[in-house]
Structure 1
C-alpha cells in the first residue's frame, strides 16, 4: 500500500453528510494510519471560523454543496493556500474543472482506490512542482459556475482555400493537435486548421459535448465509437472518423469520462 512518506499529514474534512465524512476518514487511515484528521466540518460558517482560528492543514477534502451553501463561499472569506481535493456528487462542476487545474475531483460515492490515486498524485505533484494555491483552484471553478449557462461557441470559421466556411459544433468530431498544427476534424473526416490552442478551445466548448482527452485531443461525445478496458484502469477509445494515434484515457480521467458519457 502506497503512503505519503512525509511527517504526519493533517487533513481537514469539510462534508455535510456525516456518513460520507466518516467514510473519508476511514479511507485516509486505510491509506496511512498516521494521518491526523484535524476536524470534520459540515458548513461554510463553521469552516470559515475553523480556518480563521487554526493553522492550515496539509490537505482539505472538500464537498461542493454544504449545509449552508456552496463551498466556494469559504474562499471568499478566508485565504487558503493548501492543496484541495474536491469530493462531489455534482459532475457538472467536476467534469469541466478537472480539465483545468487542481489535485483531483472525486465523484461520490468516493471509492478508496480513487482517493488513494489522488493522494499519490498529490505526492508526485509536490515532488515535481509547487501546487497552485487553493484560492486559484477555487477561482477557476467559481468562474466555471458563474459561466454555466453562458453561450459556448456554436460554430467555427475555417479557411477553405480563399474562402471561409462556418462549421457548426454538431458537425465536429474532434480537435487534434498534430505536428504543431491544431486541426478541426469534422464527422465526415475533413480537416481544417484552427488558430486556437487546445487549452483555449477547452474554454470555448460546451463541456457536456466535448471532453479534453489529453494534451493533443478534444473529442465530441458522438466521436467515441467504441470503448475498451485497457491496462491499469485505463480506457482505450476507437474514434469515428478514425485517428492514427492510439487514444487512451488515463486512470485518473476514466471515472469522469464515464460520467461524461452517461450524462
Structure 2
C-alpha cells in the first residue's frame, strides 16, 4: 500500500507516519507534503497513491482546495483538530475523519476500513472484468460464426438458419446441406470453410464427408479398432465412420 501524507506540522506528520508504519510495516510512505501548492504539484506529476492522509488547515490554505483542483484518484482520510469540516470532507472522496490528537487505534480502524473497501472494490472490478471478457468473447464468437447459410434448391436460392441444419455432406466435389426434414440443398462452400463458419458446440466434423449438428446424432455404435459408427436423423446415405483418433473428441462433444 502506498500512502501520501499532507500535513503542515512536521511533528504531526512524523507522528502519523510512525503510527502508520507500526500498524502496517509494509506500507510505503511516498511523501509528506505541507502545503496546498506542493500537494497539487505532486499529485499532478506522480501516479495516484493508494490512500491519502490529509490535514485540512494547511500553511497556505484549506486542503479542500487541492481536491477541487485535482482528482486524487484515491480515497482520503482527513485529520484535523476541528469537527466542523466533516460534512464537506465526505464530499471529497473521504472515507474517514480523524480528530486530533490522533490515536493509534483510530488510525488502525481507518486503515482497516480502507482495506475492506479497497479489497471489495478489487474483487468487484475483477468480477466485472471477467464478465466483460466473457461477453466480449461470446460476442466475438457470434460475429465470426454464421447464423444462416445460403443454399440452392433447383433454381431457387434459400437462406437456411443454422439451427435447421442437420448436417453437411461432401459428395463428388459438391457439398450438400440436409435439414431436419430430410430436404437436400447445395451450398457453395467446402466442408473446411463450413467447419470454420459453424459453432463448434453445435457442429462436429466427424470425417472427410460429414459435418453434423449435435441434434442430428441418433446413435453411435462401437466399431472395429476403436472407431465409431454413426446413425443420423435424417439418415445418411452411406456408413458414417468416425476414426479412433476422433472418437474420444466426439464423445466429449456429445457430453458437453
TM-score range, shorter chain: 0.3 to 0.5
Of structures 1 and 2, the one scoring higher in RCO (CA 8 A, sep 6+) is 1
More helix by share: 2
Larger Rg: 2
TM-score, normalised relative to structure 2:
0.45
